[in-house]
Amino acid sequence: KENFDVPIVIIGSGYGGAVSALRLCEAGKKVILLEMGLNWEKAGIPFSNLLKPGKSSAWLKKKSIAPFMNIFPLTPFTGTLDRLDFESINIWVGRGVGGGSLVNGGMAVTPKENYFKEVFPNLDAEKFYNYYFPLVHKELKVNIISEQFLKDCPYYKFTRVGEKEAHKAGFKTIRVPNVYDFRYMEKEFRNEVPRSALNTEVIYGNNYGKNSLDKTYLKKALDTGNLEILDLHRVDTIRMNTDKSYTLQVQQTDTAGTTIAHKIFNCKKLVLSAGTMGTLQLLLHSNAIHDLPLHKHIGKNWGNNGNFMTGRNWVKPLSGGTGARQSTIPVGGIDNWDDAEHPFFTEIAPLPMGMDVATALYLLINRVDKKGEVYYDPTNQSLKLNWDKSNTVKMRENARYFIRKMNQANGGTRSHFLFHNGFGADICYHPLGGCVLGESTDEYGKLKGHENLYILDGSLIPGTIGVNPFVTITAIAEYCIENLIRKNEFSV
Ligand code: FAD
């Protein structure tokens, strides 16, 4: 086995990992970032689009795993999209240099201030709204579609129809910012540049237009000369040594998932940014194998961010369907959060199937009244989740209310074509929590019971944030790493 002694290791190159890498590198620290997925830019392999799933479409699977249209056989490859299947819920995650930013829809939504205060009562909300959120908007290159383009572009008929119908049903709509460059999209439409959002690219990666983390935070971090990213390096276990440093068992794989080298990394400081499920897997598995000390709250306060999918088919297409050609980038949302009885937010999602299926798709985000818990099953050496129908009762009620109101005003039926009974309670894109800030960590993400281990990713957020989460994950990571650096936690 090859042995490496390095000062600082970050595990995972999603939002938490990318922010940590940039700020540590800017502070003059040498950083090694271990990422189990592929560096797609370096590999020079194009991402596939939704209609022709290829190499990038699934993490080492024999069949494509998008929530819909799963008939495509595949040769297993270290693709960008993975699905973790639990008894009552399936969780989709991104893999590759850039983590979830490669696969996600780019919706960059700032949480409502009063809900942020409710979820994080100990954080200085004013500082977040005046400083950290504007900072991450700038770094992530968040922008908004022009109203004129939205009005004119045939690829946004689904949004125009969705908003008109929502208004008719008495709902309020909002414009949703995104990290996809809308100026680029306008050029796509005029055929001046290669197409991506207008060519059914999303969830398996975007070849153009999207400012994913490899184009923003990670690029800036690499430009400092202090960052080395090792892709296709999967960390299997973490051991704490007697001097409170860490030893990591790592497997380097090829793109078929075959191990080509076993490596050991010894590091003084460890930042764990493997995403909610990856971080929990590493902590709980390492606790079982190497007795890694764990605080009693690890795994608790986990939630699906209230994710609940639903859809509508038009029996009598009022507005002539949603359009055969659809941009993959959502720009509209329905904001019912302030309704005391049925609080929810939903994106008006595209369904770019290449034909007019006269169907509307919605990803509702609800409050999480009953949290779940992640724990370790030693027999299968895998994670288990305490999460069942009882956790989603209120979400289902909200979805039912929403669809009923939309149908009463506009016609249509609950979409049995998309989901069994019309409700996708088991689809989760936003796993959050399990290593909650200030519970199992100190106020800046340092794991309790450890001197040199920091958690910086979605697992810090207690299961809910009321909107799509990456803006909040990025802002929390900025806040934590700034304070950790200020406190000289990384002086190695
Ligand atoms: P991640 O981004 O998940 O990054 C973790 C990284 O760690 C991954 O690259 C993973 O490969 C790596 N890793 C894990 N384990 C190991 C290991 N053992 N060794 C080495 N590396 C490891 N959010 C929004 O705000 N807006 C959206 O529009 C949106 N759309 C989404 C659409 C889809 C299909 C999905 C799946 C998610 C979407 N999300 C969206 C959610 C968002 O992408 C995630 O919340 C976010 O990426 C989580 O950030 P993170 O830093 O916690 O970890």
**Cβ of 106 less than 6 Å from ligand 1:** yes
**Cβ of 208 less than 6 Å from ligand 1:** no
**pLDDT for the residue numbered 242:** 97
CA of 93 to the centre of ligand 1 (A): 5
Quick check: 337 pLDDT over 80? yes
**Cβ of 279 less than 6 Å from ligand 1:** no
Give yes or no: 416 in active site.
no
**Cβ of 343 less than 6 Å from ligand 1:** no
Q: What would the mean pLDDT of 456-469 be, rounded to a whole number?
A: 98
**Ligand 1, atom 50, residue with closest C-alpha:** 275
CA of 101 to the centre of ligand 1 (A): 7
Atom of ligand 1 nearest to the CA of 102: 43
Kindly indicate the confidence band of residue 320, based on its pLDDT and cuts at 50, 70 and 90: low
Quick check: 13 pLDDT over 70? yes
Pick left, alpha or beta for residue 223 (phi over 0 → left; psi -120 to 50 → alpha; otherwise beta): alpha
**pLDDT for the residue numbered 71:** 76
Q: Which domains does the chain have, with CATH numbers?
A: 2-486 (3.50.50.60)
CA of 102 to the centre of ligand 1 (A): 8
Rounded percentage of the chain residues whose pLDDT exceeds 90:
91
Give yes or no: 347 in active site.
yes
Kindly indicate the confidence band of residue 240, based on its pLDDT and cuts at 50, 70 and 90: very high
Lowest mean pLDDT among 79-93, 277-291, 320-334: 320-334
Q: What would the mean pLDDT of 382-407 be, rounded to a whole number?
A: 97
Mean pLDDT of the chain: 96
**pLDDT for the residue numbered 133:** 98
**Cβ of 429 less than 6 Å from ligand 1:** yes
Distance between CA 169 and CA 173 in Å, rounded? Answer: 11
Atom of ligand 1 nearest to the CA of 458: 52
Kindly indicate the confidence band of residue 417, based on its pLDDT and cuts at 50, 70 and 90: confident
Are the beta carbons of 102 and 419 closer than 8 angstroms?
no
**pLDDT for the residue numbered 52:** 92
Lowest mean pLDDT among 244-258, 263-277, 311-325, 358-372: 311-325
**Cβ of 238 less than 6 Å from ligand 1:** no
**Ligand 1, atom 24, residue with closest C-alpha:** 468
Atom of ligand 1 nearest to the CA of 274: 7
Quick check: 145 pLDDT over 60? yes
End-to-end CA distance of the chain: 25
For residue 330, the one-letter residue type is P
Q: In the numeric block, which tokens belong to residue 479?
A: 């806040």
**Cβ of 430 less than 6 Å from ligand 1:** yes
Burial class (CB in 10 A: 0-12, 13-18, 19+), 191: exposed
**Cβ of 177 less than 6 Å from ligand 1:** no
Q: In the numeric block, which tokens belong to residue 476?
A: 């929390």
CA of 246 to the centre of ligand 1 (A): 24
Q: What would the mean pLDDT of 434-459 be, rounded to a whole number?
A: 98
**pLDDT for the residue numbered 442:** 98
Lowest mean pLDDT among 98-107, 260-269, 352-361: 352-361
Whether the CA torsion 303, 305, 306, 310 is positive or negative: it is: negative
**pLDDT for the residue numbered 319:** 57
**Ligand 1, atom 34, residue with closest C-alpha:** 104
Mutation pick for ligand 1 pocket among 436, 468, 481 (CB with most ligand atoms within 8 Å): 468
Mutation pick for ligand 1 pocket among 32, 33, 36, 459 (CB with most ligand atoms within 8 Å): 36
**Cβ of 15 less than 6 Å from ligand 1:** yes
Q: What would the mean pLDDT of 178-194 be, rounded to a whole number?
A: 98
**pLDDT for the residue numbered 295:** 96
Quick check: 321 pLDDT over 90? no
CA of 151 to the centre of ligand 1 (A): 32
**Cβ of 278 less than 6 Å from ligand 1:** yes
**pLDDT for the residue numbered 314:** 74
**Cβ of 265 less than 6 Å from ligand 1:** no
For residue 296, the one-letter residue type is K
Which residue of the set 347, 439, 450, 478 is catalytic? 347
Three-state SS string over the chain comes to: CEEEEEEEEEECCCHHHHHHHHHHHHCCCCEEEECCCCCHHHHCCCCCCCCCCCHHHCECCCECCCCCCCCCECCCCECCEEEEECCCCEEEEECCCCCHHHHCCCECCCCCHHHHHHHCCCCCHHHHHHHHHHHHHHHHCCECCCHHHHHHCHHHHHHHHHHHHHHHCCCCEEECCECECHHHHHHHHCCCCCCCHHHCCCCCCCCCCECCHHHCHHHHHHHCCCEEEECCEEEEEEEECCCCCEEEEEEEECCCCCEEEEEEEEEEEEEECCHHHHHHHHHHHHHHHHCCCCCCCCCCCEECCCCEEEEEECCCCCCCCCCCCCCCCCCEEEECCCCCCCCEEEEEECCCCCCCCCEEEEEEEECCCCCEEEEEECCCCEEEEECCHHHCHHHHHHHHHHHHHHHHHHCCEECCCCCHHHEECCEECCCEECCCCCCCECCCCEECCCCCEEECCHHHCCCCCCCCCHHHHHHHHHHHHHHHHHCCCCCC
Strand partners, 311: 361
Q: In the numeric block, which tokens belong to residue 110?
A: 């700032």
Q: What would the mean pLDDT of 215-236 be, rounded to a whole number?
A: 98
**Cβ of 142 less than 6 Å from ligand 1:** no
Kindly indicate the confidence band of residue 317, based on its pLDDT and cuts at 50, 70 and 90: low
CA of 317 to the centre of ligand 1 (A): 36
**Cβ of 39 less than 6 Å from ligand 1:** no
Which residue of the set 233, 285, 430, 450 is catalytic? 430
Quick check: 45 pLDDT over 80? yes
CA of 17 to the centre of ligand 1 (A): 10
Quick check: 124 pLDDT over 90? yes
Q: In the numeric block, which tokens belong to residue 5?
A: 């002694």
Mutation pick for ligand 1 pocket among 9, 34, 35 (CB with most ligand atoms within 8 Å): 35
